[in-house]
Amino acid sequence: MRDDWMPDLQMDERGGRCRLSLGSWAYGEGESLQDAADDLVVRLGQVALSARRTGWRVTSETPLPDRRMLDFLWELGELAARGRHEEIRARFLLA
């Protein structure tokens, strides 16, 4: 079941470039907000697919990841695996 939770989306502009950050997990950069969003979609898809492929290793030196974040990444990984990048964009821009 889909949960509409998502990490904070932040926008910053430096040196005429836009940067969108989704929590501390991924960011996208570009000349415009649209370019930054496009870059973020690609990066989120890569992070999510990697997490699905390799799993999440938890050690005594690393804090436990937020379960909501893992669920969010899993959902995005499913979309990325099916090539549904526009749905990834909609998930973090419209939530």
Q: For residue range 82-93, list pLDDT tens digits in order.
A: 888 778 777 766
What strands, in cross-sheet order, belong to the sheet with 9-14? 9-14, 17-22, 26-30
Q: For residue range 2-59, list pLDDT tens digits in order.
A: 557 778 889 999 889 999 998 777 899 999 999 998 999 888 888 888 877 887 776 7
Predicted confidence at residue 1, as pLDDT, reads 39
Maximum average pLDDT range among 36-40, 58-62, 64-68: 36-40
Render 30-56 in DSSP notation, one character per residue. ESSHHHHHHHHHHHHHHHHHHHHHH--
